[in-house]
Homo-oligomer: A and B are copies of this chain.
Amino acid sequence: MKIAVLGAAQTTFGELWNTSFSDLLAQSQLAALADAKIGADAVDAIFTGNMCAGILSNQVHVGSLASSLLNLSVPSVVTEGACASGGLAIAAGIAAIESGMAKIVLVNGVEKMTDVGSHQVSTGLISAASFEWEQIHGATFPALNAMIARLYMHTYGVTRKELAMVSVHNHAHGALNKRAHLQKKITVDHVCRAPMIADPLTLLDCSPISDGAASLVLCHEDVAKSMHVNPPFIIGSASATDTLLLAERDDLLTWHATTKAAQRAYDMAGINVDDIDVVELHDGFSIVHLLALEDLGFCKKGEAARLVASGTTTFGNELVVNPSGGLKSRGHPVGATGVAQAVEIVEQLRGTCGARQVQNAKIGVTHNVGGCGATAVVHVFGRDG
């Protein structure tokens, strides 16, 4: 597979109280088209990842909104898979091109989360868990992830301070990213002393509630050739699912949707995990960052905390993890995240990331998760020459 990424853009992520849901989408779409140097008329179809606009803004039908904003009448669809909605929009865009249905596709991810109270946001986010078996017992995602963190720490002898290093890592990167929600470095002490959310997870183990949108312009390889451009390409794409209920899992510490999607995407791209120079992985909570490092194949089970603490996943190493700052520091407007990860990887492969540039980045990967690993989407990016 070889799908060219002609354009990539995102809004700043953060509490954007002066920017409405449709403004976010409009800004992001227009910026990606400008980056691709094409007009809206060239777009054959639009796929938009969104999770919570129905619950938080009483706005579904965002597909028609997306095409309306560009004065287009093309097919325009929302894809949803909780916090993996953005990654699934990319996969849908690829399918549209590979099926011959479209030559040039606009892919969006968008979410507006800060216009409502935090209890409403919590209600919206937990909609990704089973209503009948999890929500009804009062579960929240911090609580579910806290149980997994406890089990992980107990199983592998990981300390509270080692867990905290994940957030320190991501904030150190995000401090270099002008579009990040939280552009500041933090320390292990900050994490451990932050307000407790769900023991052992403090506020600084959790990604923030953010507004934002991100967009990609994808096209068939032939279209890119005819335009005489040499863009980054998507060379592997796969998604997988796991049981929605955590209670139905054999093993809470391996998220099989990630292992399956990663293996299929790597195989499709013809790469090994060692070939990966840069990854944007789904660190919705500090514990999720650790599971992802293992499930994506970067280390063995139980070794991720030491890998992070070793400092070998930051700039200047063979693998750089979350140069953008990840969900923790860049921010996590849920439906936008999967597309924003791709924007970061595209810019890394172009070499335009300035202070946070990964040197000589040739192969990049995005990893986007919905719920507690019930959906995972992995994309592999590369470029010619």
Contacts and interface: CB of A to CB of B under 8 A. Distances in A.
Nearest to A239: B75
A128 to B, nearest CB: 4
A211 to B, nearest CB: 15
Interface string A336-373: 00000000000000000000000000000000001100
Interface in A205-225: none
25 contacts: A20-B132, A21-B131, A52-B60, A58-B123, A58-B135, A59-B131, A60-B128, A61-B82, A61-B370, A63-B81, A64-B244, A67-B241, A68-B248, A73-B242, A74-B240, A74-B241, A76-B81, A76-B241, A77-B80, A77-B81, A77-B88, A77-B92, A78-B79, A94-B99, A98-B98
A317 interface: no
Nearest to A238: B75
Interface residues of A, number: 65
A305 interface: no
Interface of A: 20-22, 51-52, 54-55, 57-65, 67-68, 72-82, 88, 91-92, 94-101, 123, 126-132, 135, 238-245, 248, 256-257, 260, 370-371, 374-375
Given A75-B239, A135-B58, A63 B127 contact: no
Nearest to A374: B64
A61 B91 contact: no
Nearest to A370: B61
Contact of A54 (B55, B63, B371): B55
Contact of A101 (B79, B95, B244, B370): B95
B61 A58 contact: no
A80 to B, nearest CB: 4
A257 B54 CA distance: 23
Given A64-B81, A77-B81, A80-B80, 16 more contacts: A22-B132, A58-B131, A59-B131, A60-B80, A60-B82, A61-B81, A62-B80, A63-B375, A68-B244, A77-B92, A78-B81, A79-B79, A92-B92, A95-B101, A98-B100, A99-B99
A309 B92 CA distance: 43
Nearest to A94: B99
A76 to B, nearest CB: 5
A244 to B, nearest CB: 4
A78 B80 contact: yes
Contacts of A130: 59, 65
A385 B73 CA distance: 36
Nearest to A240: B73
A132 B19 CA distance: 12
B61 A375 contact: yes
Contacts of A58: 55, 123, 126-127, 131, 135
Nearest to A259: B73
Contact of A68 (B76, B82, B245): B245
